[in-house]
Structure 1
Amino acid sequence: MPKKEYPLQQLSHFLPEGSFELIVRYLLHYKVHLTVSRDRRSLLGDYRHAHQNRNHRISVNGNLNPYSFLITLIHELAHLVTFEQYSHRVQAHGKEWKQLYRQLLEQFLGKQIFPQDVETALLTSLHNLPASSCADEPLMRVLRQYDHPDDKQLLVEEIPEGALFEIEGGRIFRKGKKLRKRYQCKELATGKLYLFSGLYEVLNHQI
């Protein structure tokens, strides 16, 4: 899983205009080792706390659009600040993390950093924060509109019922009916049923 550490000035290429200085302030204050990953599909970002002689480490996917990149980075910074304040005494996505994530995110709102539709979705999300940005489907739908066409992947909801699709790792499923918010899909190799979000990205499909 190749990663690359970028000089701080180059980080501005991944961020929306107006957010760089505030982000760098946090990275320098907490001595964050930030890396940009190029090819992860199942993970948007990651945080590893400081220990022994190693600094806090955050990685973010470099193929995210600038708004998704910033939101993911803020998400991981919230984990860092939570660890600084509570160590391992609280849940990873518990109320303490949610409060700190909300406080961090609010610093970037109302400053014309995000397009209006993204900001509106974020404000809605702040009322009931999910553990993962990926779990916030309304926000994900808005953010996806800003992806580069070459980076867009086919979604489970975009393939017909009964079609086969492949996910990372070579596993193949047959898409079934929608049950409330998710699609029930059968893995061909095992016959087991799994529930997929409509926004889950697939590698390829065939009818």
Structure 2
Amino acid sequence: MLRCARNDDVAQMDKITTLAQYMPASAAPIIAKWIDYFQCEFKISKNRSTKLGDYRHPFKDKGHKISINNDLNPYAFLVTTVHEFAHLLTWNDHKNKAKPHGIEWKQNFKRMMKPFFDLAVFPPEIQQTILNYLDNPAASSCTDLSLARALKSYDLRKHTTRIEELPSNAVFTLKDGRKFKKGERMRKRYRCLCLDNGNIYLFNPLAEVLLETGS
């Protein structure tokens, strides 16, 4: 977990070194500055199948909190980090009066992406996809499938199965061993029945799963 540590050069260098293990090295000093400037608790989390990152606004005596999955490729990790910091900035500016991925958030996301565009951190195809997304008012969030696919093309993992590739009613498992049956698509996510507890879960079409033998 990375916390703000102003006026401590050693701690700041340690923070940059840690961040550079998960994102392009040239981006790490900027993110480290944001963590300090916004007094943010920044956590690198284990994989969560339902989300890539998370932002929690201050509550009572707790400050800003951001968590990012640790198994993302460097470009996906950085985009997700900027995504969550844009939520932080939007909350600072508007509190709960702005929609989660409304125009205020999009403006902040675009502003916070600019330093990384200036540094040419992203491959051209990812940068162009981000720009296309930001210019498309119909896109509701950074989970836009075109952007997600562009980012996933840099994953090191190969030969995985995505939920969108499975036939209807196929049975699949997650890494934690839970078993599901694929259901219908509801707008941008698939309704899937957990065969272990009978609950319904919504999955991103690009979620990577293990197909059950004989399904």
Distance across 1 between alignment mates of 2:153 and 2:69: 17
Q: Structure 1 residues 149, 44: CA separation in 2 closer, same or farther (over 3 Å shift)?
A: same
Tell me whether 1:132 sits opposite 2:141 in the alignment.
yes
CA contact (8 A) 2:180 2:194 kept: yes
Aligned to 1:164: 171
Distance across 2 between alignment mates of 1:153 and 1:66: 19
1:170-185 superposed matches below 5 A: 170-174=178-182
Paired residue secondary structure (2:66): strand
Q: Choose the corresponding residue for 2:151, options 143, 152, 159.
A: 143
Distance across 2 between alignment mates of 1:174 and 1:78: 33
Q: TM-score, normalised by structure 1?
A: 0.80
Tell me whether 1:65 sits opposite 2:73 in the alignment.
yes
Paired residue secondary structure (1:149): coil
Distance across 2 between alignment mates of 1:100 and 1:47: 15
Distance across 2 between alignment mates of 1:82 and 1:58: 14
Aligned to 2:10: none
1:68 deviates by: 0.5
Tell me whether 1:47 sits opposite 2:51 in the alignment.
no
Distance across 1 between alignment mates of 2:170 and 2:209: 12
* Alignment root-mean-square deviation, CA: 3.2
Distance across 1 between alignment mates of 2:149 and 2:186: 18
CA contact (8 A) 1:14 1:66 kept: yes
Distance across 2 between alignment mates of 1:115 and 1:60: 21
Paired residue secondary structure (2:39): coil
Aligned to 1:199: 206
Aligned to 1:105: 113
Q: Structure 1 residues 26, 165: CA separation in 2 closer, same or farther (over 3 Å shift)?
A: same
1:24 deviates by: 1.8
* More off after superposition, 76-85 vs 154-163: 154-163
Task: Could you tell me which runs of 5 or more consecutive residues in structure 1 were left unpaired when the two chains were aligned.
Answer: none
CA contact (8 A) 1:34 1:59 kept: yes
What do residues 20-67 of structure 1 show as CA deviations (whole Å, max 9, x unaligned)? 122222111111110000121111111111233322111111111110
Task: Could you tell me which runs of 5 or more consecutive residues in structure 2 were left unpaired when the two chains were aligned.
Answer: 4-13
Distance across 2 between alignment mates of 1:196 and 1:11: 28
Sequence identity, in percent? 31
CA contact (8 A) 1:184 1:193 kept: no
Number of equivalenced pairs: 200
What do residues 167-205 of structure 1 show as CA deviations (whole Å, max 9, x unaligned)? 5783521467xx798797774869999986542332433
* More off after superposition, 183-192 vs 44-53: 183-192
Paired residue secondary structure (1:36): strand
User: Which structure has more helix as a fraction of its residues?
Assistant: 2
Which residue type is aligned with residue 50 of structure 1?
A: P
1:99 deviates by: 1.3
